[in-house]
Amino acid sequence: MAEEQTDETVATKTTPDETKAGTVATEEPGDSKTTETKTTTDEETVVEEKPAEEEKPAETKSTEEESADTKTTAESDDTPPERVVPKPSDYTLPEGVLPEVGDFAHENDMTQAQLDATLTQFGSYLNANEAAKKEVMAKHGQDHANKWGDQRDYNLSLVRRALQQNDPDGQLTTVLDNTGFGNHPVVLDFLLGLGQNLKEGGFLKGSVNIPKPGNKTAASAMFGNSHPSKDS
């Protein structure tokens, strides 16, 4: 008998010998569908076509996953070195810095680099502060010397002679110059009084020279350019 054909199923008759052969699967050229032959109980073979299994696309990582992997790799490559906090006695301190600074740095969990940066910053602040103080002191000394009027240059010369005679090694002179206290009004008055007493008692060695106008005074040579008598 004749079988109806559909888009998906084709029925054909087979001989008994073909029935005994079992199920045979064939694939026609140019057709992506697989043909499967089945044997029925009434010696009829029904051929069914099934769609071929589609291949699954290869799994790919999303952009977010790739970025996360890249970030993880970069972080592992840029791992910072271990942070080392030295013992108090192992810190390297600049000359003149007290050893207690090492104790302070260790107690505050500071590395050597952090301590160096702190000391540098603090040192810059101290230097600027000292320079400002010396500038103010020089202004006060200048104003005080100007109050001596016509005796200004003569008095400053007495100050220099008195200091030189009582400070032969120059240590006090260096301290007064470095600290700026050589310009302090109290120091100037003290040295002036000392010079006047030595001169009156005949104990002041050498003569007191009054500098010529326009030249640096003896006191300027003694204290440096920071002294109020820098110029006459």
Q: What is the pLDDT of the chain when averaged over all its residues?
A: 73
What angle is formed at CA 116 by the lines to CA 115 and CA 121, rounded to 5 degrees? 100
The domain boundary, picked from 69, 100, 129, lies at 129
- Whether 108 is covered by a domain: the verdict is yes
Query: 145 and 191, same structural domain?
Result: yes
- Whether 61 is covered by a domain: the verdict is no
Confidence of residue 204 (pLDDT cuts 50, 70, 90): confident
Q: Number of structural domains, the chain?
A: 2
Query: 211 and 138, same structural domain?
Result: yes
Query: 103 and 154, same structural domain?
Result: no
Q: Which residues contact 113 (CB under 8 A, 6 or more apart)?
A: none
Query: 116 and 139, same structural domain?
Result: no
Query: 175 and 151, same structural domain?
Result: yes
Most trustworthy range by pLDDT among 16-30, 155-169, 192-206: 155-169
Query: 165 and 151, same structural domain?
Result: yes
Query: 180 and 104, same structural domain?
Result: no
Structure confidence at residue 26 (pLDDT): 47
- Whether 4 is covered by a domain: the verdict is no
Q: Which structure tokens are listed for 36?
A: 């499967």
- Whether 13 is covered by a domain: the verdict is no
Query: 149 and 107, same structural domain?
Result: no
Confidence of residue 202 (pLDDT cuts 50, 70, 90): confident
Instruction: Summarize pLDDT for 118-175 with one digit per residue, the tens.
Output: 999 999 999 999 999 999 999 999 999 999 999 999 999 999 999 989 999 999 999 9
Structure confidence at residue 124 (pLDDT): 94
What angle is formed at CA 230 by the lines to CA 224 and CA 231, rounded to 5 degrees? 155
- Whether 210 is covered by a domain: the verdict is yes
Query: 146 and 125, same structural domain?
Result: no
Q: Which residues constitute the domain of residue 191?
A: 133-223
| Own/partner long-range contacts of 85-90 (Cβ < 8 Å, ≥24 apart) | 85/109, 85/110, 85/111, 86/111, 86/112
Query: 179 and 165, same structural domain?
Result: yes
- Whether 17 is covered by a domain: the verdict is no
Structure confidence at residue 203 (pLDDT): 72
pLDDT mean over 206-224: 52
Query: 204 and 125, same structural domain?
Result: no
